Amino acid sequence: MFEVNLWYDRVKRIELYERDNYMDAFRIGFHMSEKLNIDLLDATVPNNNKWIDKNEWRRKLNEQNT
């Protein structure tokens, strides 16, 4: 399962979305991060969290939509 969580106060979180498909969850997380103007962290691999380059993903997602 892949979750989209909103973290606040460093240790508190709200679970916003859950899916069994990575790209579905990623798109929701990306869209939410865009609307809230916040960074997006990919934590799908334990102990190997990565900040997402949102400019790169904007280009990728736009290419898929054209």
Residue 49: pLDDT over 90: yes
Confidence label for 65 from pLDDT (cuts 50, 70 and 90): confident
Residue 27 sits in which domain range? 2-65
Instruction: Please list the residues that pair with 50 across neighbouring strands.
Output: 42
pLDDT band of 19, cuts 50, 70, 90: very high
Structural domain tally of the chain?
1
pLDDT at 61: 83
Bridge partners for 19 per DSSP: 2
